[in-house]
Amino acid sequence: MPELNNAPARIIPRSEHDLSRQYIDENSLKVLYRLHRHGYKAYLVGGGVRDLLLGRTPKDFDIGTDATPEQVYKLFRNSRIVGRRFRLAHIIFGRNECIEVATFRRKPVEEEVPDDERFFCENVFGTPREDAFRRDFTINALFYSIDDFSIIDYTGGLEDLRRGIIRVIGDPVERFAEDPVRMLRALEFSARLGFELHEDIAPAIEQQAPLLAEASSARIREELLELFRHKVGGKVLQRADKLGLLQQLVPDMQAQRESFDLLRQLDLRTAIGVDIQESMVLATMYLTPFCQACSSDMPLGEVHKLANREIARHCRRFSIAAGIRHQAREMLITFFRLTRGRGRRGEQRFLRHPCVHDGLELFRLWCECSGEHQDLLQSWTNAIAGKEEQKPRPQRKPGPPRRRKKKTPPAPV
């Protein structure tokens, strides 16, 4: 990659691009305009610009400015300053909308980082150019200026966007060492956008993969859920396995083709509008080894222990709440009972179990993926939905009324 730090920024005027303000959130525009009216630089930054240029609907809109968090706070009564490691302003609209406003930052020089200041290095403010080169990928370093409605490109992101390439800003080995989660994000963006990884990314991931084990477990947990929210979990985890990243990402997950196929099927389920639940993700990730360890005549008590054992290590590592763990375990147990077939003892009570619907969804996922047991799936679906004709209870044979046993009076004391 050519050195771009000293190259002039490429500025695309409004007449030469398709990004229109009508596609930008109204409240984001209010923030941009107020910052601009008070003499500050105000840019729409990052993924919002990228998605609008690709004709996609952004999940949210982030704003970059040369105003400090304190200056932003003074401008907006509905704002608050958040974060210590990375201080920024949140501007609140209504009950559900939050616009994130971050001050342009730069990478500090060594003498600027005192030994006794833990959070100093993430709050060194800088210029838009310096801020662009701190970002992870070129396609995420594009700025839209509210001043003249131009797009500003410091890193060559527009060309990479046109060619469909994920490229790290700077040396991938060094940037992955700074933040190992970037390796996972590179795979995520490649899968979400249908872009190719630049040729230097895969070797860097293979080299730096062990560093991911040192990343925050809470952050990795959230990134994993993001994969499934964006319907690319199965694809990304399978590619992570090929690059040696899966073992660091999810150490307890067995890399088996059946597991990846199930996760891809889960992504297809999400793509048609079904909300993703973390408990469903957990149950799907560990369904294949659970099935391999089960036998049809295994007592339910043993099945319970087995289901708990499969997901317990994962839940401990990522500090997953007991309620989510319980739901995932019950899905696995319900799946086992569904695969055994109809007519078992206690079936009517089982059909009324609170977790039977979630377990049925897991069973449906497995049937769609394997192409097996479609008749059994339909039978259980009808029974759980109450569409199956109930068999009449056997009538007691007519006969003389039963005589009640007389109570024997207690013996006198």
- Name the residues annotated as catalytic: 60, 62, 136
Beta strands 62-65 and 79-82: pairing type? unpaired
Beta strands 62-65 and 97-103: pairing type? parallel
Q: Please name the residues in contact with 190: beta carbons below 8 A apart, sequence gap of 6 or more.
A: 166, 196, 197, 239
Distance CA 180, CA 176 (A): 5
Residues in the chain: 413
Name which of 176, 262, 184 is nearest 211 in CA terms.
176
Q: Please name the residues in contact with 361: beta carbons below 8 A apart, sequence gap of 6 or more.
A: 280
Distance CA 92, CA 338 (A): 47
Helix (H) or strand (E) holding 257: helix 257-271
User: 19 φ, ψ to 5°?
Assistant: -80, 115
Q: Which residues pair with 97 in a beta bridge?
A: 93
Dihedral angle at the C-alpha atoms of 291, 296, 302, 305, nearest 10 degrees? Answer: 20
287-290: long-range contacts (C-beta < 8 A, 24 or more apart)? 287/259, 287/262, 287/332, 287/335, 287/362, 287/366, 288/254, 288/256, 288/258, 288/259, 288/262, 289/254, 289/256, 289/259, 290/332, 290/335, 290/336
The DSSP output letter for 15 is: G
* In contact, 90 and 79? CB cutoff 8 Å: yes
